[in-house]
Amino acid sequence: MRVDILEPDIDLNKAIDTLGRVLGPMLGKAWENKRKAYDDKPFNLNVNVFTQLWINKDMKIFVAYDDNDNNNVVGFLTGTAYRPMQYSARVFQIQDWYTGNRPEVEKALFSFLSEAVKFLGTDEILISNTEGEGIPDIPGNWKQETVITTRRFVKVQ
């Protein structure tokens, strides 16, 4: 297995084709794993924003490929790097990841992330998860500092 960062091509048509071909099938699978936490809402990716963030290099996409299976995509991790408004730091916030419940894919993605964020100047990693979903270890020089809880509220109809 190998993990790499998915970079957009300068040619916009090639970039969009690559994004759809490489990541498209995985995004739906990832949502199926999480949709119970969101009242079984159907998958409805905001394609314009997702694509624009990636093309502008504001969102990073890490992809795991299976060397033994024709380099098929077996997992991904997406996130954004930014500076928080309240304090001085450089944060990489993981937006989503999917590993097909394969621990070796999760380990490979998070190991790659641990190394890749060094090039982004990141000194913090934030991970959100749904109830019952575990938080993987971040290998290397990372320790859990605090737990920040996010609660989801929806408008009552």
Is 0.85 topped by the overall pTM? yes
Summarize pLDDT for 37-94 with one digit per residue, the tens: 777 788 888 999 999 999 999 999 999 999 888 789 999 999 999 999 999 999 999 9
Each residue of 90-138: pLDDT tens digit? 999 999 999 998 999 999 999 999 999 988 899 999 998 777 777 888 9
CB 90 within 8 A of CB 81: yes
Q: Which residue(s) pair with 62 in the sheet?
A: 5, 77
Average pLDDT in the chain: 89
The contacts of residue 117 (CB under 8 Å, 6+ apart) are 81, 92, 125
Tokens encoding 62: 């890490």
Round to whole Å and give the CA distance between 101 and 106.
Answer: 8
CA 75 to CA 152: how far, in whole Å?
Answer: 26
N-terminal to C-terminal alpha carbon distance within the chain: 47
User: How far is 19 from 95, CA to CA, in rounded Å?
Assistant: 17
pLDDT single digits (tens) 17-28: 999 999 988 898
